[in-house]
Structure 1
């Protein structure tokens, strides 16, 4: 699917990270592998440190904190936006929507539309699409997009396959109508036949959690996890990314009549450093144009990685500069997406600690 939007722009991005930092080497004793094996794997995959929340911190806490930071520093007027869109796969509750909780925490006007979207790795791009559609209504001039997950709470401490990867955090992106006539292109695809390649088997209404779903079971690779924990078929996901993302990128090039040199940066979701490096090599895109420095520093924050990558690698330079960027998300769903847009003269682009 190819969608086009005009007269829209991103005006600011704030990333909120937990202060709690965990180092991969400090946890290798939890895994059912030798220290030598774990260290070797860590070097290949780019495992380093990551940020995770405390047990009592939720998505609404991170988002509320970040929005209050923007209000208090006069970076966002509390009465200037008409909608908040939250993309998360770790909501505070099944009921109510977490975006409503955030609105209540902030005492927002009852005219502010609150939407939750269940999206993971491509959540930033899907959230931007929804924000653009809201702006197209004519009644909404500014949308606050929230991308947040605290999935570390759903990863087994004895799972070397996923535990070293998962980080927590939130990002706040401001999207507005403008008089810029440039086109924003969104390319989005979904393949539900592969949906269970990334999943948390138990805990929903189809398969409720109980004492049995909490039992740790060893898999063929030596990892221990329960049915309440995140499980990923790594080989399937890797092959999916290395196949489908290049196909979609070349489709974008063909339809827009551009080539890979058109973009200043490729800000892609960061499942791990190894996967991003292999993708860049396959596409023959220099590493410096496709940054892969997030997972080893902060962890894989699900739908939060793309805005965090922008904040980490552009930062203050985005306040005065202009960059043609390709935004990309791919993973859980299975969902993959690319966006052609421009980032220029942002009002803020920074990372804060919670």
Structure 2
């Protein structure tokens, strides 16, 4: 599905990272794998360290920390928020919506739209699309998009497929109406036939948590996890990304009438370095234009990886000038989505620690 928006702008971006840092070598003994093979895995996927929350910290805690920072430093006014979007796959509660919890915490105005969106790897793109649509309303001028995921508690420490990859993080993106006469081209696709390539089997209504769901079981590759843990079919996900993402980007470039070399950065979701390098080669762009350095420094934090890769690689540029960026997210759902837009100068692009 092709999408098109006009006269909308991202005006600021804040990343919130846990201060707790774990190195790959600290957890190698948990894996049913030799040291040599573990280090080979580390090199192949670009693993090193990741950020994870302390026990008891929820996605809303990271978001509230970020909003507190923006309010206290005069970067955002409470009364200016017309919509608050909270994109996560690790909500605080089944009910109420976490967006309403945050709105209540700050006693924001009642004349506001609060919306939780259950999306993961493509959640930043889905959230931007929703923000752009809301901004078409005359009564909405500023949308706050919060992406936050705390998935590390849902990953088995004995699962070498997922545990070394997963990080926790949040981001806050400010989206507003623009006088710059901007054009934004987008595309989004979904395929539920592959929904179970990435899943947490237990914990919802279909399979409630019980003593049976917490039992640790060894898979054919020697990983141990329970039905309450994240399970990823790595080969399926890799093949999906390599098959679907490059043609999506090529189609989007054609629709937007943009040459691939005109794009300053391709800020993509960060599954791992190996996968992103292969995508860059298939698209036919220099690997430097598709930064792949987030997992090795912070971990894969689902939809938050796109704001992180933007801050980490273009913090100063995006505050100083206009850039043409292709944002793309792909994964759980299965969902894959992209946007091409001009961004900057941002009023802020920063990181704070929780």
Quick check: TM above 0.5? yes
Separation (CA, whole Å) in 1 of partners of 2:74 and 2:316: 17
In the alignment, is the contact (CA less than 8 A) between 1:316 and 1:350 conserved in 2?
no
Q: Give deviations 1:144-169, integer Å, cap 9, x for gaps.
A: 00000000010001000000000000
Counterpart residue number, 1:341: 341
Counterpart residue number, 1:25: 25
Please say if 1:295 is aligned against 2:287: no
Counterpart residue number, 2:15: 15
In the alignment, is the contact (CA less than 8 A) between 1:165 and 1:299 conserved in 2?
yes
Q: Give deviations 1:160-206, integer Å, cap 9, x for gaps.
A: 00000000000000000012222111110001111110000111001
In the alignment, is the contact (CA less than 8 A) between 2:46 and 2:272 conserved in 1?
yes
Tell me the CA shift for residue 247 of structure 1: 1.2
Q: Give deviations 1:258-285, integer Å, cap 9, x for gaps.
A: 3211201000000111111111122221
Separation (CA, whole Å) in 2 of partners of 1:37 and 1:76: 48
After TM superposition, the structure 1 stretch with the greater mean CA deviation from structure 2, 311-320 or 340-349, is 311-320
Counterpart residue number, 1:204: 204
In the alignment, is the contact (CA less than 8 A) between 2:185 and 2:255 conserved in 1?
no
In the alignment, is the contact (CA less than 8 A) between 1:328 and 1:338 conserved in 2?
yes
TM-score under structure 1 length normalisation: 0.99
Please say if 1:282 is aligned against 2:260: no
Q: Give deviations 1:199-218, integer Å, cap 9, x for gaps.
A: 00111001111000000000
Counterpart residue number, 1:188: 188
Counterpart residue number, 2:167: 167
In the alignment, is the contact (CA less than 8 A) between 1:83 and 1:142 conserved in 2?
yes
Separation (CA, whole Å) in 2 of partners of 1:332 and 1:129: 18
In the alignment, is the contact (CA less than 8 A) between 2:249 and 2:283 conserved in 1?
no
In the alignment, is the contact (CA less than 8 A) between 1:316 and 1:348 conserved in 2?
no
- Name the SS for the 1:79 alignment partner: helix
Separation (CA, whole Å) in 2 of partners of 1:178 and 1:33: 53
Segments ≥4 residues shifted beyond 4 Å: none
The answer for unaligned runs of 5 or more in structure 2 is: none
Tell me the CA shift for residue 254 of structure 1: 2.3
Separation (CA, whole Å) in 2 of partners of 1:353 and 1:127: 23
After TM superposition, the structure 1 stretch with the greater mean CA deviation from structure 2, 274-283 or 226-235, is 274-283
TM-score under structure 2 length normalisation: 0.99
Aligned positions of 1:1-354 closer than 5 A? 1-354=1-354
Separation (CA, whole Å) in 1 of partners of 2:182 and 2:128: 16
After TM superposition, the structure 1 stretch with the greater mean CA deviation from structure 2, 261-270 or 284-293, is 284-293
Separation (CA, whole Å) in 1 of partners of 2:182 and 2:104: 36
Tell me the CA shift for residue 253 of structure 1: 2.3
In the alignment, is the contact (CA less than 8 A) between 1:199 and 1:232 conserved in 2?
yes
After TM superposition, the structure 1 stretch with the greater mean CA deviation from structure 2, 256-265 or 162-171, is 256-265
Tell me the CA shift for residue 317 of structure 1: 2.3
Separation (CA, whole Å) in 2 of partners of 1:215 and 1:49: 28
In the alignment, is the contact (CA less than 8 A) between 1:6 and 1:180 conserved in 2?
no
RMSD: 0.8
Q: How many residues align?
A: 354
Separation (CA, whole Å) in 2 of partners of 1:195 and 1:259: 33
Q: Give deviations 1:293-320, integer Å, cap 9, x for gaps.
A: 1010000000100011111111122111
In the alignment, is the contact (CA less than 8 A) between 2:186 and 2:252 conserved in 1?
no
